[in-house]
Amino acid sequence: MDRQEIIDELKKVLTPYMEDKELLGGINEQTDLIKDLKINSANLVDIIIDAESKYNIEIDMDSAEKMTTVGSCIDIITEKMNSKT
Amino acid sequence: MTSTGNDIVALKATNQQRSIHPRFYSKILSLSEQELFYRQVIKELSFEKFVWLLWSVKESVYKFMKRSEPTLLFSPVKIIIRGIDSPFRGGVTRFKYRQWENKNNQAGEDLYKCEIVFGPAIFYSRSKVHDEVIATEVSQNKNFDYSYWGIKSIDSPSYEAQSEAVRAFVLNRLNSILAHDYTDLSIGKNLQGYPVLLSGARELNIPVSLAHHDRFIAYSFILSPNIHTH
């Protein structure tokens, strides 16, 4: 799965926690989940758990704390997927 | 360090079933914190409320620290709550106010209080826990001297409505206290995206923390003693 494919799947993970879904149209790797997508911090753990299920990976808390932007989410998801193979 | 941090959780906007699942709460609570729940002093709290109470405390500490450490990342399990005092009031009640604001020298009635360790720093929190909402303020001063805190319910859960309402709410309180000292108060954002209090174009050294979730908003701020005495 390349980075674009991960972004496409990540959008599905983020959508339930966004009030303005149109913001997803303009995302890039620098997009901040809280500041730019207006996701409430109370949903951050939900997003980590949903990402674990979506990609069949386990995200430890040292990694989870780095998942603040779309790019860092892709980095962590890629790392965890590669470590399985 | 002079700073402030607060957080608010609207419980209806959380996933109750998920909140009490180990896969969820183990990402927020350490084992020692999970054991705190089974102590008799907090038996009136459901586990769901306990999880979100500790979340709100940890998020408040993070917001307090982030002001002076812009690169800090939020890792809930690294912020350790080592004790909780319950108000012993016999049960959790509804948030029956349209808005609530602390008063000067108010005793801590109805408040859950925690002591928190984050690295070398010690923090103290006070929280209001109701059926619909949990709100927390943290300080490094155990008595919360010169600390101001408010919680309000609003009609619209939209992000824009929350953002606008919380700014109006805190400015109303600030204007009532600072009208003799400053004019044209407004809330801006610094480069890190943190709220700052402005008088005209001048940034004031008065830390402000804002929080909003669904139909609830909250603020905290701290004044220096010389301003407080006006």
ipTM entry: 0.90
Instruction: Measure the CA–CA gap between B67 and B3, rounded to whole angstroms.
Output: 7
> In sequence order, what are the residues at sequence separation of 6 or more whose Cβ sits closer than 8 angstroms to the Cβ of residue B191?
none
Nearest by CB to A42, which of B9, B73, B75?
A: B9
The conformation of residue B89, written as its DSSP 8-state character, comes to -
Edge-to-edge, what's the strand order for the sheet holding B216-222? B99-101, B147-153, B216-222, B208-213
pLDDT in tens, B116-133: 999 999 999 999 999 999
The conformation of residue A25, written as its DSSP 8-state character, comes to G
Q: State the number of CA atoms in the 13 A half-sphere of B199 facing the CB.
A: 11
User: Do B27 and A38 lie within an 8 Å CB cutoff?
Assistant: no
**Above 50 in pLDDT, residue A74?**
yes
What CATH class does A3-84 carry?
mainly alpha
The conformation of residue B204, written as its DSSP 8-state character, comes to P
Nearest by CB to B73, which of A48, A49, A66?
A: A66
> In sequence order, what are the residues at sequence separation of 6 or more whose Cβ sits closer than 8 angstroms to the Cβ of residue A65?
B73, B74, B75
User: By mean pLDDT, which of A58-72, B28-42, B56-70, B96-110 is the weakest?
Assistant: B96-110
H helix or E strand, kind and range, residue B124: strand B121-129
pLDDT in tens, B31-75: 999 998 887 567 788 999 999 999 999 999 999 999 989 999 999
Instruction: Measure the CA–CA gap between B144 and B5, rounded to whole angstroms.
Output: 12
Q: Where are the domains of chain A?
A: 3-84
pLDDT, position B229 = 47
The answer to whether residue B192 neighbours chain A at the CB level (below 8 Å) is no
Give Cα A10 to chain centroid, integer Å. Answer: 5
pLDDT, position B32 = 92
Domains in chain B, CATH or no CATH each: 5-153 (3.90.470.20), 159-224 (no CATH)
pLDDT in tens, B142-164: 999 899 999 999 999 999 999 99
- The helix, strand and coil proportions of chain A, stated in percent and rounded to the nearest 5, come to 65, 0, 35
